[in-house]
Chains A and B, each alone.
Chain A
Amino acid sequence: MTTVLAAQGLTKSFGDLVAVNDVSFEIAEGETFGLLGPNGAGKTTSISMVAGLLEPDSGAVHVNGTTIRTRSTAGRSDIGLVPQELAIYPDLTAAENLRFFGRLYEMAGAELEKRTEEVLEVIGLTDRKDDLTKEYSGGMQRRLNIGIGLLHRPRLLILDEPTVGVDPQSRNAILESVEELSGQGIAVLYTTHYMEEAERLCDRVAIIDEGVIKAEGTRRELVSLVGQKDRIHVVMAGDVAEVARIAAELDGVHETSPSDSGVDVLADEASKLLPELLACVSSTGATISGVEVFEPNLEAVFLHLTGKALRD
């Protein structure tokens, strides 16, 4: 896949504080890349450099091969930015907000009108497009905030904690929108301190703390760093000892243990093992009444790498 963003050795200091130290990562077309870290970890500083808002002290940002600089407009059209704070004009309507920012990206006429309508449809604001945005709910404003970033069809979309302060329903709508973006070939850089969002959305995640990327990879790769395994608990009626013995021989299973309600299985990857495991249980004549899967999460990885919890 084509590399859309290449951030190389980004470093930025504010006085004595080194906010970001030698941060590097790449994002390919259609890939969603997460920067996961607590507040103050250096996520916003990193994306500010990627978006050309801040000049790095050292390092470079390339988007589609073009170097991004604060004093140059080159490459900016390929970037869509959704800042953490709402970046909309409350005394303009949704359509006026979209048209204004569209014109800054050299969109005009029928093309701008068509694209404005498309984006309004995507973010579900077509019916309210002519209302002033100050009359919108927080969720609607958030959706518009994202819509503006998408308007000019960027190849790289930067989302800086887009769900902060959003109600659960709107949050889910935002996450669904982001999930659709990768299907459209857009490279997404997503910062969050919500582990669940990173796990749900991101193909790869970089864990960042105190301005340094501690680890990077797929969720599976990161979890493997910790050495934790998936745990499957099969609730069943039957010969639990026999089931535990047979299951222990399956590929990818590390350990099994019978219990009063069923069998616990420790495995590398629960999702891959599950069909085979259930078939194995059934073959013993046992009756399955429930299955629970416990996967080690990025919270545990973060704790392992930094010695503190994500929300500390």
Chain B
Amino acid sequence: MSASTRIAGKDLKLRLRDRSAFIIGIVTPLALAYIFHLVFGNVFATETLDLQIGMVDLDDTEISRSLGEVLAEIEAQGILEITEFDDAEAADAAVEQGDVGAYILLGPGVGAAALEGSPFTIQVVGDIDAQTTTQVATSIASEFGSGIGRAQLSVATAVHLGEGPPPDDVVTWGEEAAQRPSAYTFSDVSAETRQLDASTFFAAGMAVFFLLFTVQFGVLGVLEERENGTLARLLAAPIGRRSVVVGKALLSFALGVTSMTVLIVATYFLMEARWGPPLGVAVLVIAGVLAATSIMGLIASVGKSAEGAANLGAIVAVTLGMLGGTFFPIGQGDDLLSRLTYITPHAWFMRGLSEISGGAEWTAALPSAGALLVIALVLGTFAWFALERRLSR
């Protein structure tokens, strides 16, 4: 056993004895994740997973029936649940009772107006408390209306060119075109729009947020050794200065990986968090723990005392946690905040998890893990030299 592992083993014994690492690394994040899950989990679930949409077809033409076919296709994918109503009164009652969040109404004459190229109206009626469902219904209706508009344009162009297709063919083309336009992208898999479910989001958010607090029990130990007077004794021993730094980093790594693993397993069973392929999660956890250790190593190298460094570490952890979207999702647009979020390991961890939790291969986590490793390498290099220099004073 090397001197580094002996130092890490001694520190682990001390940490287990005072229980601080157990409380900060496992109990607190697990409790907070569970509380957030209980408070916010249902809100997330209603809005994202339980889309009940109704349809009222008072026109009953080929064109109006084509909307029903499109909705049936979407329903078959498990994204929506469609209920057909005979009239608007029945649909209104269903909305009132909460049986559906919204319904789409095709009034009489929509099909004829479409064929004639005249304006027509598609109504969407939604429950004010089911805004996401209403938004989805509006998008479907709008896309269907646009499809009919494109069909009208095709038919009008063909007639205007006077190339002589029979009028019956024109009607057929129009109907076919109207039936085809559906470009609904419910299964969008781009990173920009993919989101974790509520349970996984809170579990992962709290786990990675508290990771920085957990790893500080290792690397900040250098300062504690100095204050305890034991650093001189370690440096006088025939072990080499690097062994002290490596020993502390080893403990940080071990505590970080252990706490993350326990949290992942616990939230999987307790909160039904869907973390994704184990290999991908493991890669993200290892890279994330290395990045967190480097950040805290850097703080240890500039801290004047263990307490001061712990306070600075807490400020950094909270700032990076907020910026990295561990408490609430940060938008992923082009604004400054969205760009700043990617200086944090938290954002990369959450992004990597988003990539793999939806059923993708574990390799989808590699870009985010790579970014985490770059953070670990850059900050870790600074921390290494700064700590070594500090031990030489």
Contact = CB atoms under 8 A, between A and B. Distances in A.
A100 B3 CA distance: 10
Contact of A88 (B14, B18, B230): B230
B236 A53 contact: yes
Given A53-B236, A73-B238, A104 B229 contact: no
Interface stretch (A20-28, A77-85, A207-215): A77-85
B236 A52 contact: yes
Interface string A59-75: 00000000000110100
B229 A81 contact: no
Given A83-B229, A83-B233, A104 B17 contact: no
Contact of A73 (B228, B239, B392): B239
Main secondary structure of the interface of B (DSSP, over half): helix
A81 B10 contact: no
B238 A76 contact: yes
A92 B13 contact: yes
A87 B392 contact: no
B6 interface: yes
Interface centre among B6, B229, B237 (most CB of A within 10 A): B237
A105 B237 contact: yes
Nearest to B224: A89
Given A104-B3, A104-B234, A92 B14 contact: yes
A87 B228 contact: yes
B241 interface: yes
Contacts of A79: 236
Contacts of B18: 91
A13 to B, nearest CB: 13
Contacts of A29: none
Contacts of B10: 89, 92, 100
B235 interface: yes
A87 B238 contact: no
A245 B213 CA distance: 84
19 contacts: A52-B235, A53-B232, A71-B241, A73-B240, A81-B232, A81-B236, A83-B229, A83-B233, A84-B229, A85-B229, A87-B228, A87-B230, A89-B10, A91-B17, A92-B13, A100-B6, A103-B6, A104-B237, A105-B237
Given A87-B232, A105-B238, 15 more contacts: A51-B232, A77-B238, A79-B236, A81-B232, A83-B229, A83-B232, A83-B233, A85-B228, A89-B10, A89-B228, A92-B10, A101-B233, A101-B237, A103-B1, A104-B6
